[in-house]
Amino acid sequence: MSRDYKFRGQRVDNKEWVIGAYFCLHHEDGRKHIHHFIIPENTSIPKDKPIGEIQVEVIFETVGQFTELLDKNGKEIYEWDILKVKMYNGTYENYEVIWDKENGCFDSVNKDRSNFIIPIVWHESEIIGTIHERSEV
């Protein structure tokens, strides 16, 4: 079984979202800075075309990995998405999708970071935005 490694990030030039393969370039030109790029999915890369004409520079803080899961509407869930989750008592609560470094997996937390919803219920949830587009979790 293969994994679908892809990322989403906001373009530097117009803030639109782009999905594809993520990479970064480290420059050692005295300033030591890094540029972050995504090559959009379904982009063919001809041998005679420079990569600079294909890559899209993105804002690093907005880059999130695809979790390989879909919400109840069939929409791909990415790190930093906000999920509207129906709780057992019938109310709704918002959860932010995060990468849990300690356990090496995706997870989701509510606004006060006191409650977690495991990914197995994400398919019953709905994506309502990202932390980069909305102020509340």
Report whether 126 contacts 71 (CB < 8 A). yes
Q: Is the pLDDT of residue 101 over 80?
A: yes
| pLDDT surpasses 60 at 137 | no
Q: Are 22 and 66 in contact (CB under 8 A)?
A: no
Q: Where are the beta strands (DSSP E) in the chain?
A: 7-10, 17-27, 33-40, 56-57, 64-70, 76-78, 81-86, 92-100, 105-109, 126-130
User: In terms of Cα–Cα distance, which of 127, 40, 121 is closest to 75?
Assistant: 127
**Does residue 136 register a pLDDT over 70?**
no
- Does domain 66-130 fall under CATH 3.30.70.141? My reply is no
Listed by start position, the domains of the chain span 7-61, 66-130
Collect all residues with Cβ–Cβ distance below 8 Å to 101 and sequence separation of at least 6. none
Least confident of 31-35, 96-100, 131-135: 131-135
Percent with pLDDT over 90 in the chain: 53
Cα distance between residue 134 and residue 137, in whole Å: 8
